Chain A
Amino acid sequence: MKSDTLTIGGRSFPSRLIVGTGKYPSFEVMRRAIEASGAAMVTVAVRRVDLSKSGDALLDFIETRKIAILPNTAGCRTADEAVRTARLGREAGLSDLVKLEVIGDDKTLFPDNEGLLQATRVLVKEGFTVLPYTNDDLVVAKRLRDAGAAAVMPLAAPIGSGLGVQNPAHLRLLLEEIHDIPVIVDAGVGTASDASMVMELGADGVLMNTGIAGATDPEKMARAMRWAVEAGRLAFEAGRIPKKPYASASSPMEGMVRRDGPSA
């Protein structure tokens, strides 16, 4: 397995980092941040065309020959809404990829498990490559996998919170048990160490938006996230040392220069 290759539904992407396109101060800042991140896939939202004004188009700032578009169903509160939005997204982008969101609570934006499963089943049947945004719940992840999801995307923390991994034990369990499809940690990453941590735990990828777009210097943060994801993945593949309660000297004691007598 190549360290920097993420395979979803039989398609390979040359980066384990997926970035969002929302909340940037301008499309130009977004374009530079995407480039700095090295991401090969970006998320977009599907919304009504605002007929009262004309402006720059998002897609003019994304190199779509190199970067895959992952339409989301953000804001959808029912399986029906999400399925409808996914169909529109497929038609607008002519790709089967969908980041499936069914939101169950406005304050936390936590997923509605039941709606998520329902929508996943419908969309899989319609030929979509479904990437559901889910809780860090192993049982839900298994059900989504069994329903045909191409990946599962558990949250690290609430969307846009920047809190980092709130529940490493649950994430670890999920990563230990789900091997046949990629696990991409989505939401809650605040800074580079958060991204490294989820990759060190064994995540196949990370998806983030606010952590980069909301940074004081999004382009610089995008670069930091790129290296953080790569460093975390390499550390995972390299196999870390076990943690020990006491010190273990790195230099040999043999041959120490002592004041008197033979070497110890």
Chain B
Amino acid sequence: MTIILNGQERMAPAGSSVLALLETLGLAPGRVAVELNGVIVRRDTFARAILSDSDRIEVVHFVGGG
């Protein structure tokens, strides 16, 4: 299936969870925040949040700023 990850199209296996996606990307779940179709996904539900075709996912973290 195709998902939109941080504004870019990307293929992901059907039925992937947010947690599986983060693992594929090599990201530590404790350091990021995830938004799925505009709604925050709580960190303790990453494993249960299942992605669907055309989902829009934002994965953010902290960077230097003032």
Contact B63–A58 (Cβ < 8 Å): yes
Interface membership of A196, Cβ < 8 A: no
Q: Enumerate chain B residues within 8 angstroms of A94, measured Cβ to Cβ.
A: 43
The segment out of B12-20, B24-32, B47-55 that lies at the interface is B24-32
Interface membership of B11, Cβ < 8 A: no
CB < 8 Å A-B pair total = 98
Contact A58–B64 (Cβ < 8 Å): yes
Q: How distant is the Cα of A58 from the Cα of B42 in the complex, in angstroms? A: 22
Q: Enumerate chain A residues within 8 angstroms of B31, measured Cβ to Cβ.
A: 57, 59, 92
Which residues B31-48 have CB closer than 8 A to chain A?
31-35, 38, 40, 42-43
Q: Can you name 4 extra interface pairs (CB under 8 A) apart from A49-B60, A88-B58?
A: A22-B66, A44-B64, A69-B62, A87-B40
Contact A46–B60 (Cβ < 8 Å): yes
Q: Enumerate chain B residues within 8 angstroms of A159, measured Cβ to Cβ.
A: 66
Q: How distant is the Cα of A208 from the Cα of B66 in the complex, in angstroms? A: 7
Q: Enumerate chain B residues within 8 angstroms of A209, measured Cβ to Cβ.
A: 65-66
Interface membership of B1, Cβ < 8 A: no
Which residues A71-126 have CB closer than 8 A to chain B?
71-72, 74, 84, 87-94
- Residues of A at the B interface (CB closer than 8 Å) are 20-24, 27, 30, 43-49, 51, 54, 57-59, 69, 71-72, 74, 84, 87-94, 159-160, 187, 207-210
Q: A23-B64, A51-B25, A88-B40 are in contact. Are A46 and B59 (CB under 8 A)?
A: no
Q: What distance in Å separates the Cβ of B66 from its nearest Cβ neighbour in chain A? A: 3
Q: What distance in Å separates the Cβ of A34 from its nearest Cβ neighbour in chain B? A: 11
Q: A46-B60, A49-B27, A54-B26 are in contact. Are A88 and B35 (CB under 8 A)?
A: yes
Q: Enumerate chain B residues within 8 angstroms of A51, measured Cβ to Cβ.
A: 5-6, 25, 59
